[in-house]
Structure 1
Amino acid sequence: MKSYFRATAAAVAASLVAVGCGGGNTQVAATADPVTPVVPVDVTPVRTVKFDPSLCVAQTGAPYGQTVGITGTNMMVTSADISASAAGCKILAGGGSAIDAAIAVQGMLNVTEPFASGLAGGSVITYYDAASKSVHAYDGMSAAPAATGGVDTVYKAVAQDVSTTAPYNLCKTGLTAGASISSQQGNTNISGRAVGVPGTVAVLDLVHKSYGKLAWNKLWDDSIAAATNGFPMTQYMYSTLYSDAGEFDDDGNPVAAGSGVAAWVNSAGTAKGAARCKYPDINARYCLASDTTKQKPLPVGTVITNTDLAATLATVRDGGAAAFYDPAGSIATAIVAKITTGQLPCASILPTAGTASAPSVASTIAKIPSLMTTADFASYKAVERKPLVGTRFGMTIYTQPAPSFGGVVTLYNLGLMERKAIGSNAFNGVDYLHLVTEGSRLANADRRNIVGDPAYSNSNDRISVLLSSSYLDSRAALIGSTAIGTVAAGGTADGIPAFSATDPTLYNPLALADESAPVFFAQQARPLQIARADTKHGEDWNTTSNVAIVDGYGNALSMTTTINTHWGAHIEAAGLMINDVMSNFSASTPGMDVNGYAAYKRPRSSISPAIAFDADGKLRLVWGSAGGGPIPDYIVKTFLGNVVYGMDIQAAINAGNFSGQNGIAELEAGSSIAGSVASLISTYGAGSSAAATGLTSGLSGIAVTYDTNGFPVYHGAADYRRNGAGYGY
């Protein structure tokens, strides 16, 4: 990348010229106009960055009403919450680096978006260091605890669940040890049993040790003040709890007007959990005390305080990551106590199944204790991994490797779209939507049995084939004038290795397989079109937070951070909403699935923050998204809009969303493209179905252009669907 240096003017010396006259006499005469020799001067323009917090401004129209990005030439931060972006800009303008600002942003998100991310969740970071011109990928995803009651512990009743010994004799699951509790679905997933060991603080600490400029304890003041003095109930937070006019829940299921949002819905759509405001910890802080039905949240704008969270943030501020992970410390002990003995007496009773049109509602709140111990906190480590890299449409994209499947799907689908010359079609036209949804369907069919924690299987070797040029050529050839009905995922003829378990103690996270490496093994075929009821999704849909930052030194960060589903396990401890990441493991044949449960293992995730550079090595795009399973579709949409179609990044973000991850073409209900469902079917056939459903993205990004001097100009944008904003100058 081009570096810009301050010009230094050379000293210019004037001299007089002596003139000699003939004869024996010598007369010295001074010239009337002394001659000054021409000395070359470096006139390279100087880029001067201003560091002044008073210059920070918010994106016009944000939140919810932004139509164009905010432009600045010094620094930029954009996130899912306007207050978090403001806190980040303040740190940048005070001389902080991108990771310094990210810590301040995460602290504030923990306060203002407790339903989406926080210190009791996990995060991944893609980081560009301008000094070394290198990109790094960091994994702070939540991990399984050490306890093992079988490979599928999270889905099976263990001894304590059926024990007659106090205090576990209070449990009334009606199960025998080893019996499956996967039929409990949402009940299991929204419980203490689904909690993974948090990783966010560890990964923030790891990156800060390498790239922080300001002291750790200088980055938390704004979030502590907000938790102490109060923050408003936002429109988006309200919508995660209650529907006034009809909406879609986390999994794309419709929520009737005047209803609380259910904590879970089973895959058949015949049963659902209680409204979120019926969960005690959510109700106590975020819901309307006067509502005897326990469904309604506090009104939008109501000021909420969380002094317990303020104390936790102060502990982390003063004691760093060591204080958070100390097995004898106040935070780890509070979390473990709440998700274990705090979940007694146990209860997990599903309602009798109703119908998809009239599902039965659970009358009880599931309480299934975790198997975690405080020792699991002490053993957690954030991981630096080699980034997943691919060149698409002339841009080199760095994104997250496994166990994120989002990076794989992003590069896979963009590779298909490049081969199909998608730019020759009208953006969001029917032909365009056919291509992108078919690409998403293929990418997600292939990744499901391939992407998992690379420490436990040969996932990276298998991914290398999925992203190879020859494989993408063959998959692009499947996209034609008729929508694909079903298709087997790649197998022996394509050279994809079969699943093979590996020893996690021998895994080197910085030894990612090259995408062109030849491999010659087999894989079981899998149908593309997944058997499922329309609008019911296999992976969580509208969750998480995203952050994109470029600092005053040219460093860039894209971070996606999550407690998994909205409101996580619906349990609060130490002021923190706790994650339910264990629900991301697959309930399948023990030992045979790439994403099966194992001690210390990290379940796969869709989160995949990315950074792109042009052919000259110049930074061009820093972006990522929240939104559950379809996250890579949102990332692809934004890249295509901004890079391929030349749209302002905010316009690209605001464009209607699509996904094909569940085997059919799905378009965002209520958007300008929702009406194209019928046209997709009539034009490209009914080989696959198509539907309008809830696809709530949470994009944030910074596009970078360059002025006539070659200096960067930043264009920040945040999703109008959330409470976010760009902030900078």
Structure 2
Amino acid sequence: MIKRSVARLVAIVMLTAGGSFSVTAAPTAPAPVSYGVEKDIFHPVEAHNGMVSTVDATATRVGVEILKQGGNAVDAAVAVGFALAVTHPQAGNLGGGGFMMLRTADGKTTAIDFREMAPAKATRDMFLNEKGDADSKKSLTSHLASGTPGTVAGFALAIEKYGSLPLNKVIQPAITLARDGIWVNDALAFDLNTYGMENLANHANSKAIFWHVGGNPLQKGDKLVQENLAHSLEMIAEQGPDAFYKGEIATQIADEMAKNGGLITREDLAAYKAVERTPISGTYRGYEIFSMPPPSSGGIHIVQILNILENVDLAKYGFGSADAIHTIAEAEKFAYADRSEYLGDPDFVKVPWQALTSKAYAKSLAQKIDLNKALPSETIKPGNLTPYESNQTTHFSVVDKQGNAVAVTYTLNTNFGSGIVAGNTGILLNNQMDDFSAKPGVPNVYGLVGGDANAVGPNKRPLSSMSPTIVVKDGKTWLVTGSPGGSRIITTVLQMIINTVNFGMNVAEATSAPRFHHQWLPDELRVEKGFSPDTLKLLRDKGQKVEVKDVMGSTQSIMLGPDGIKYGASDPRTVDGLTAGY
């Protein structure tokens, strides 16, 4: 979840074919290291072989090195995921979960669901207080807030089925970084001193890692050594995922929960399984869209909104025009209204994905859009589908020399999750249980409203907005993208597609363009700075309740040209990101 304005733009850097670096030693100075030619925000990084785009420069270098050593995109993605657990603990994790979209060079596209699961002892009303009202402290900062983590299982499944290197090899860079230490960068320093004070400061195990002894949170340039996390990573490298789900780590997590009123047990951990699912797919103006299926809402609603927009000529309106923004925002309202009613864990509820992604249903919604007048959200209800039925998160994208592509979005939920480190594991635990609907009609931390389809229940996976997405052109992978941002993930990824397809932007231009968002409730059109005051006035004249707020999203994207060249961009909205190739 991105919660801050950015003081500077990140330099996007290409690693040249002749450049090299080590991922087996900690940095020797806090100063950032750059390679090759520095790029501005409107010109993408170019590479002929592999490319990695992440929110953290050190993790990006880990991924590129794995590619250069002969690993494929899955190997590099898993190495990046473990590295981010060390270098970007705000969201990178072992104690959370997420989703992976994967497209092989021969065109197979699949989705790996490693979303957290509610413990077996979870109950429908566990986050209500004595008055029957939703209690966000229970669902965000207590031991009850954590679902059974899925990241380790998801990465292990990906390596087993689609990787080319052994798990212990791709974990090794993360082990080295944790044991030898990293230098605290701008992003981590800011988040420790802002959001860490809200949750990490309340837990001794967490403060022992991220605080000076008897003092304040670590600052930029301080060295962060995570010996306990290194030990946990070593056990996973040696024993595989059983170390996490059935071994010493499982015992530590279960003991932490038992001592503090949490619900996760050794039985919950031992029973966890990552699941391979069929992606949600659709078409948009000649392109194929592949995105995450439930329990993510991302894929369904990205396709649904694109289907609505296929009925209008956005290119004629022009990027940043009041008509284009208004039309897209109105389409978003319909999708988020449907999300509140129909989306949940597909293992527990029937999700009407065929109806929601139907071109005919989308056309019926498009006909309700008035170019001159906004529909008040209170007048929009979840649609009748019968006729059609047949903040902290991080994303990274990887493409290898052969054309295999991976998009991963994973998270602890809010910054540093619950703030709780399980025993001596060094592992921060998630607060994903807040993504369930604690009470029908009551918004969660992102303002999203849900119903019974996403109610708390034992062994259920909470609904998510994470939307790792792959776009295909002429049968070949064309765009690999995704973003953090809570409820704004869907609209951020949507705009990456619209900016490139409708408005002809390159991947860097599409990344840097100002964004906007509407999620039905609250009835607010949120916009970043950068749109013309004249445009905002025209939108208000149409009845849109425009609010200019902080930046949205942090996309990490790679576009593939017909010549095989990879073009990438890290979002300038966040510091310390890096897109690199070789």
Fold equivalence (TM over 0.5): yes
Q: Secondary structure of 1:151's match?
A: coil
Structure with more contact order per residue of length (Cα contacts < 8 Å, sep ≥ 6): 2
Of 552, 557, 566, 2:415 maps to: 566
**C-alpha offsets along residues 63-118 of structure 1, whole Å, 9 cap, x if unaligned?**
xx744321111111111211111101111111111111111101110001111121
The structure-2 alpha-carbon separation of the partners of 1:488 and 1:683, relative to structure 1 and needing over 3 Å to count, comes to: closer
Asked if the contact 1:668–1:674 (Cα under 8 Å) also holds between the matched residues in 2, the reply is no
Offset of residue 232 of structure 1: 2.1
Offset of residue 547 of structure 1: 1.2
Offset of residue 410 of structure 1: 1.1
Asked if the contact 1:408–1:447 (Cα under 8 Å) also holds between the matched residues in 2, the reply is no
1:71-470 paired onto structure 2 within 5 Å = 71-131=46-106, 133-148=107-122, 150-153=123-126, 155-156=127-128, 179=130, 182-242=133-193, 260-261=194-195, 274=198, 277-287=201-211, 297-326=217-246, 329-341=247-259, 343=260, 369-459=261-351, 462-470=352-360
**C-alpha offsets along residues 129-178 of structure 1, whole Å, 9 cap, x if unaligned?**
223x2101110001011114x4233x157xxxxxxxxxxxxxxxxxxxxx
User: In 2, Cα distance between the equivalents of 1:674 and 1:288?
Assistant: 45
**Larger Rg over CA atoms:** 1
Q: Secondary structure of 1:137's match?
A: strand
Asked if the contact 2:334–2:380 (Cα under 8 Å) also holds between the matched residues in 1, the reply is no
**C-alpha offsets along residues 450-475 of structure 1, whole Å, 9 cap, x if unaligned?**
1100111111xx22212111110111
Letter of the aligned partner of 2:172 in structure 1? D
Offset of residue 562 of structure 1: 0.8
Offset of residue 282 of structure 1: 4.0
Please give the root-mean-square deviation of Cα atoms over the aligned residues, in Å.
Answer: 2.6
**C-alpha offsets along residues 272-296 of structure 1, whole Å, 9 cap, x if unaligned?**
xx475455444333245565xxxx6
Letter of the aligned partner of 2:244 in structure 1? F
1:645-656 paired onto structure 2 within 5 Å = 645-656=503-514
Asked if the contact 2:479–2:558 (Cα under 8 Å) also holds between the matched residues in 1, the reply is yes
Bigger shift: 599-608 or 584-593? 584-593
User: In 2, Cα distance between the equivalents of 1:325 and 1:706?
Assistant: 43
User: In 2, Cα distance between the equivalents of 1:648 and 1:592?
Assistant: 39
User: In 2, Cα distance between the equivalents of 1:54 and 1:392?
Assistant: 40
Aligned to 2:579: 726
Q: Secondary structure of 1:691's match?
A: strand
User: In 1, Cα distance between the equivalents of 2:358 and 2:63?
Assistant: 38
Of 605, 611, 621, 2:479 maps to: 621
Asked if the contact 2:66–2:170 (Cα under 8 Å) also holds between the matched residues in 1, the reply is yes
**C-alpha offsets along residues 620-663 of structure 1, whole Å, 9 cap, x if unaligned?**
11111111111011101111112221212122112222110134
User: In 2, Cα distance between the equivalents of 1:389 and 1:683?
Assistant: 36
Asked if the contact 1:677–1:691 (Cα under 8 Å) also holds between the matched residues in 2, the reply is no
Instruction: Tell whether 2:570 aligns with 1:714.
Output: no
Asked if the contact 1:426–1:432 (Cα under 8 Å) also holds between the matched residues in 2, the reply is yes
User: In 2, Cα distance between the equivalents of 1:180 and 1:374?
Assistant: 32
Aligned to 1:54: 20
User: In 2, Cα distance between the equivalents of 1:196 and 1:677?
Assistant: 43
Structure 1 unmatched ranges of 5 or more: 1-49, 158-178, 243-259, 264-273, 344-368, 497-515, 519-541
User: In 1, Cα distance between the equivalents of 2:469 and 2:292?
Assistant: 7
Aligned to 2:426: 575
Aligned to 1:350: none
**C-alpha offsets along residues 384-425 of structure 1, whole Å, 9 cap, x if unaligned?**
111100001211011111110111221122222221211112
User: In 2, Cα distance between the equivalents of 1:676 and 1:572?
Assistant: 49
User: In 1, Cα distance between the equivalents of 2:393 and 2:513?
Assistant: 20
Asked if the contact 2:304–2:358 (Cα under 8 Å) also holds between the matched residues in 1, the reply is no
TM-score by length of 2: 0.87
The structure-2 alpha-carbon separation of the partners of 1:276 and 1:61, relative to structure 1 and needing over 3 Å to count, comes to: farther
Asked if the contact 1:181–1:188 (Cα under 8 Å) also holds between the matched residues in 2, the reply is no
The structure-2 alpha-carbon separation of the partners of 1:109 and 1:117, relative to structure 1 and needing over 3 Å to count, comes to: same
The structure-2 alpha-carbon separation of the partners of 1:212 and 1:262, relative to structure 1 and needing over 3 Å to count, comes to: closer
Of 413, 420, 437, 1:586 maps to: 437
Q: Secondary structure of 2:324's match?
A: helix
Offset of residue 196 of structure 1: 0.6
Offset of residue 303 of structure 1: 1.6
The structure-2 alpha-carbon separation of the partners of 1:668 and 1:117, relative to structure 1 and needing over 3 Å to count, comes to: farther
Higher helix proportion: 2
Offset of residue 681 of structure 1: 4.2
- Counting aligned pairs with the same residue, the percent is 31
Letter of the aligned partner of 1:468 in structure 2? S
Letter of the aligned partner of 1:657 in structure 2? R
User: In 2, Cα distance between the equivalents of 1:219 and 1:238?
Assistant: 27
The structure-2 alpha-carbon separation of the partners of 1:55 and 1:624, relative to structure 1 and needing over 3 Å to count, comes to: same
Asked if the contact 1:51–1:95 (Cα under 8 Å) also holds between the matched residues in 2, the reply is no
Aligned to 1:600: 459
Structure 2 unmatched ranges of 5 or more: 1-15, 23-33, 442-449
The structure-2 alpha-carbon separation of the partners of 1:67 and 1:317, relative to structure 1 and needing over 3 Å to count, comes to: farther
Aligned to 1:28: none
**C-alpha offsets along residues 222-268 of structure 1, whole Å, 9 cap, x if unaligned?**
211111121122222233244xxxxxxxxxxxxxxxxx4487xxxxx
TM-score by length of 1: 0.70
User: In 2, Cα distance between the equivalents of 1:184 and 1:674?
Assistant: 40
Asked if the contact 1:136–1:386 (Cα under 8 Å) also holds between the matched residues in 2, the reply is yes
User: In 2, Cα distance between the equivalents of 1:130 and 1:262?
Assistant: 41
Letter of the aligned partner of 2:507 in structure 1? I
Letter of the aligned partner of 2:20 in structure 1? S
Asked if the contact 2:392–2:417 (Cα under 8 Å) also holds between the matched residues in 1, the reply is no
Aligned to 1:68: 43
Asked if the contact 1:51–1:92 (Cα under 8 Å) also holds between the matched residues in 2, the reply is no
Letter of the aligned partner of 1:218 in structure 2? K
Aligned to 1:482: 373
1:655-674 paired onto structure 2 within 5 Å = 655-661=513-519, 662-669=521-528, 671-673=529-531
User: In 1, Cα distance between the equivalents of 2:492 and 2:440?
Assistant: 32
Of 388, 392, 401, 1:543 maps to: 392
**C-alpha offsets along residues 569-595 of structure 1, whole Å, 9 cap, x if unaligned?**
110121111111111110236997000
